[in-house]
Structure 1
């Protein structure tokens, strides 16, 4: 027996769109309606009471998709969005995608069923085409930390390339020529853009290294520790390290401490994100500020404007990184 997911797959739409067609919602587009009705007829699908109940008359919720709710970065994003939501008498409904396309897709479809007007999405695994399709279904759809030209007015993004470039150049200007980079092993834009920024800064300052200076690990403290141990095992000259995020930097500090390598006296260190942990490790961490709280608030406010069909942003909004100088970097002097 065919299910609502079978119909969605056959029609090339989401289950939320199928639900709208079943319930004769005015938000179901003509093309989607024809595709769904054709799929239902082909598969012999008959809607049941549960399918009809997926769309209700009103909703006071805002859907928020993050990669991992346990990650402090996303906790900060959720808290900021919740502040704006409460000011507008709304409540958050949260889903996690874990950098997995199927998980992100399922979570978004579930959120759409309950949050038909407002949806803030942090998606790294889904294709641009799928996200554009979802944006057409949800009036207040906003994409955070990603830029898609076709829906530029719905994007709140961050310049990851520039952030890594600034961090690397800061180390270079402090005399460092042997700079390693510990990147995330997730196949996402953030990782590739930050790596590109690191490499471009080296290139612009006529510095180049073999691949041994770049390692990839899980983007947490354990990954940072393992990445630093991997670099140390190669016996290559390193005077500074840049990490994908602050948690990886915390792991690097642990690995260096266990090997009696002082920071910043022997190796300087720069993180990324300016998370809470950066202020409490020792030494306090020089890092790149990622204004996720401001971005999340703006994304939530934009969602309300879009849903009300108020004036939209004329251009996409890409936030710029800034360097936060603390105690984990010192000037390197070449031995003569």
Structure 2
């Protein structure tokens, strides 16, 4: 493989001149620049990304850690990051954390072994202390979908408690008082915060969600189906379901329809995330829009900026709030 020295020899110029051409630097005539570029092409020369990063003081790659690849939510997150890296001509190194401490830790350490100085990390399993330690070691470390006060300027996060409150308020204002919740069984902050927001909203209206009206399952369609099946098997009365995410909501709708229950005529369903699936449910799913693509793009921009030496004060924070998307799956409860 040709080296920068080979290019300089073939073009009859100095190493510094070739370096300036590679990095679009000044002080190189047009004719010389074109001659060097032509020789680079003829010899199949490819610039070293890491070496170029040292010259331009920009990160050559951005590491991304997400729980899994097949979930539409995380695919949207990755797309948001890609819109930034494509513009800045930065390579993405992608790894899965699987919401397990050892896997998340190894994913981050592997990126460090590749000398990645800019990262967007979706970690739910690692303790706060370990995340704080990584943030102190990695110049461009950004945490997405989680808030740790000690590293507030490294966190891009969603107010899940506010989301739960918005969800419940919408159902209550439609006239629902008998509400069921299907939530994620994973022991992470997101489902707990959403449930707390639901409880807060219902308390403001003099209502409550009994524990018997809450079902936990895997945060996917199968989990939603099983949760509704359990509620129906126990004879729980409800006119509305608040789901942890759109996948669980769509699974819940499928099970309700299997039991000949009309949506929203007999049971209303509201989801969370507003992934593409929500638009293609029948009926179309009312949900909370999680601006994950916007959040991911912001996290990528900050990670690359921090890795380049631009710093922010610890008082900076990047909080987002979900908004409701009204479609067809929520209506007024049936009259007796």
Global fold match (TM > 0.5): yes
Rounded to whole Å, the distance in 2 between the matches of 1:315 and 1:60 is 26
Rounded to whole Å, the distance in 1 between the matches of 2:170 and 2:219 is 22
Size of the alignment, in residue pairs?
A: 280
Rounded to whole Å, the distance in 2 between the matches of 1:152 and 1:331 is 41
The alignment's C-alpha RMSD in Å is 1.3
Whether 1:217 and 2:217 are equivalent positions in the alignment is yes
Q: Normalization by structure 2: what TM-score?
A: 0.81
In the alignment, structure 1 segments of 5+ residues that lack a partner are 1-55
Superposition deviation, residue 311 in structure 1: 4.5
Partner of 2:173: 173
Partner of 1:110: 110
Q: Normalization by structure 1: what TM-score?
A: 0.81
| CA deviations over 1:31-84 (Å, ceiling 9, x no partner) | xxxxxxxxxxxxxxxxxxxxxxxxx76662210000111111111111110120
Rounded to whole Å, the distance in 1 between the matches of 2:210 and 2:89 is 55
| CA deviations over 1:251-305 (Å, ceiling 9, x no partner) | 0111011100010000000000000000000000000000000000000001122
Poorly superposed stretches of 4+, deviation over 6 Å = none
- Assess if the C-alpha contact under 8 Å between 1:82 and 1:91 holds in 2: no
Whether 1:129 and 2:129 are equivalent positions in the alignment is yes
Superposition deviation, residue 115 in structure 1: 4.3
Partner of 2:244: 244
- 1:62 is paired with a residue whose SS is strand
- 2:172 is paired with a residue whose SS is helix
- 2:296 is paired with a residue whose SS is helix
Rounded to whole Å, the distance in 1 between the matches of 2:189 and 2:226 is 22
Deviates further, 209-218 or 312-321: 312-321
Partner of 2:189: 189
Greater Rg by CA? 2
- 1:193 is paired with a residue whose SS is helix
Rounded to whole Å, the distance in 2 between the matches of 1:85 and 1:209 is 44
- Assess if the C-alpha contact under 8 Å between 1:269 and 1:286 holds in 2: yes
- 2:116 is paired with a residue whose SS is coil
Partner of 1:293: 293
In the alignment, structure 2 segments of 5+ residues that lack a partner are 1-49, 54-58
Rounded to whole Å, the distance in 2 between the matches of 1:236 and 1:76 is 35
- Assess if the C-alpha contact under 8 Å between 1:61 and 1:115 holds in 2: no
